[in-house]
């Protein structure tokens, strides 16, 4: 395990983890974004052959993160499921199994653009779903960042990555956490998701994820 990184936001300690989850200790809460369950299934249904395997891997990783942090609460900042076509019985079964294994966890889903299309199953799965969530009056969770004033906004949606340049014309593109002064962008958790390169503004803190390690960068 690498060292624990923490970042202080408005007096609270947040812990970005190399598994692309964010842990909020004083709330005992794990935050994760853009899982896109059933994305490979969507491809298959549409006639594009992509093997299965990601679902088990993603849900396994998430269970492990819950165990490691002993979190009691899980906030998903959107895009739990990828599309209606991808919500096959197989995928639903797997998610139900995950829910059973983590019965005691309170799950809050912030509705993402993909969730709107995918339709709701969430009461059956004991998931509370809202468009946004505010905790302790100043921390707000939303799928797509809208920079709402008066809050520190946590969001996902864009699957942020950072481009690093090195010697020998090397260029690396790494998924990252991005903490600006009044908002944070979370990396996409799902194993079959792409990334979009972001260009940092001054005074932001970035945690890039390189082969299961966090690399802290400041702009």
Partner 1 sequence: MKEFYQSTGYKKVEEFFLSQGFNPHRFQIDCWYAYNQGLSGLIHTATGSGKTYAALMGHLIEAINNANSNKNEVSGLKLLWITPLRALANDTLKTVSYAVSQLIPDYNVELRTGDTSQSKRAKQAKQLPEIFITTPESLSLLISYPNFFELFSGIKSVVIDEWHELLGSKRGVLTELGLARLKRVNPELKIWGISATLGNTATAMEVLLGNKKVSGKLIGAGVSKNTEIETLIPETIENFPWAGHTGLKMIEKVCELIDSANSCLVFTNTRSQSEIWYQAILEQREDFAGIIGLHHGSIEKKERNAVENLLSEGKMKCVICTSSLDLGVDFSPVDLVIQIGSPKGIARLLQRAGRSGHKPGGVSKLVCVPANSLELIEFAAVREGIMASFIEPREPVVKAFDVLVQHAVTVAIGTGFNKNEFFNEVKSTHCYRELTHDEFDNILEFVCKGGKSLRAYKEFAKVKFDENFYFVDDKQIAKRHRMAIGTITSEPEVIVKYMNGTKLGTLEESFAARLSKGDNFIFSGKSLEFVRLRDLVLYVKKSNSGEGPVPQWLGGRMPLSTMLAKQVRERLNNYPSENSKFVEITAISPLLELQKKWSEIPSNGTLLVERKLSDEGMHLFFYPFEGRLVHEGLASLLAYRIGKNIPASFSLAYDDYGFELLTDTEFELAPDEIAVLFSEENLIDDILQIINSSEMTKSKFRDVARIAGLIFQGYPGSNKPVKQIQATGSLFFEVFTKYDPDNLLLKQAVREVLESQLERKRMIETLKRICKSQIILRETKYFTPLSFPLMASRIREKYSTQKVSERIKKMQIQLEKAVLKSK
Interior CA angle at 187 toward 186 and 193, to 5°? Answer: 140
For partner 1, give the closer residue by CB, 67 or 172. Answer: 172
For partner 1, give the closer residue by CB, 103 or 167. Answer: 167
* DSSP label at residue 125: T
Q: Does 40 bind partner 1 (CB under 8 A)?
A: yes
Q: How far is the CB of 209 from partner 1 (least distance, A)?
A: 14
Nearest Cα residue to 106 out of 30, 32, 157, 13: 30
Angle between helix axes 89-101 and 54-69 (nearest 10 degrees) is: 10
Q: By the 8 A CB rule, do 210 and 173 touch?
A: no
**Which residues in the 155-194 window bind partner 1 by CB under 8 A?**
167-169, 191-194
Among the listed residues 50, 92, 121, 134, the single contact to partner 1 using CB under 8 A = 50
Nearest Cα residue to 212 out of 59, 69, 61, 17: 17
Beta strands in 115-204 (DSSP E): 127-130, 132-135, 139-142, 152-155, 160-165, 171-179, 183-185, 196-197
Q: Does 44 bind partner 1 (CB under 8 A)?
A: yes
Q: How far is the CB of 101 from partner 1 (least distance, A)?
A: 21
Residue span binding partner 1 (CB under 8 A) among the ranges 7-15, 41-49, 71-79, 130-138: 41-49
By CB under 8 A, how many residues form the interface with partner 1?
A: 28
CA distance 80 to 156: 11
**Which residues in the 86-125 window bind partner 1 by CB under 8 A?**
88, 90
Q: Does 61 bind partner 1 (CB under 8 A)?
A: no
Among the listed residues 42, 77, 153, 155, the single contact to partner 1 using CB under 8 A = 42
Strands 139-142 and 132-135: antiparallel
Residues of this chain that interact with partner 1 (CB under 8 A) are 40-54, 82-83, 85, 88, 90, 167-169, 191-194, 197
């Amino acid at each position: 395990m690498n060292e624990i990184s923490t970042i202080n936001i408005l007096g609270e300690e947040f812990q970005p983890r190399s598994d692309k989850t964010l842990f909020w200790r004083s709330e005992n809460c794990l935050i994760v974004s853009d899982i896109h369950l059933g994305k490979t299934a969507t491809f298959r249904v549409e006639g594009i052959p992509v093997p299965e395997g990601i679902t088990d891997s993603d849900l396994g990783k998430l269970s492990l993160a819950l165990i490691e942090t002993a979190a009691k609460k899980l906030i998903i900042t959107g895009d739990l499921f990828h599309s209606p076509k991808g919500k096959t019985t197989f995928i639903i079964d797997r998610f139900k199994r995950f829910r059973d294994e983590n019965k005691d966890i309170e799950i809050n889903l912030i509705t993402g653009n993909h969730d709107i299309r995918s339709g709701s199953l969430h009461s059956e799965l004991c998931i509370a779903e809202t468009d946004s969530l505010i905790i302790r009056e100043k921390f707000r969770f939303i799928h797509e960042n809208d920079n709402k004033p008066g809050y520190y906004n946590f969001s996902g949606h864009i699957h942020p990555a950072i481009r690093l340049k090195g010697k020998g014309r090397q260029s690396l593109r790494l998924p990252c956490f991005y903490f600006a002064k009044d908002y944070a962008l979370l990396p996409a958790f799902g194993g079959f998701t792409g990334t979009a390169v972001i260009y940092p503004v001054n005074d932001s803190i970035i945690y890039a994820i390189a082969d299961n390690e966090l690399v802290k960068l400041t702009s």
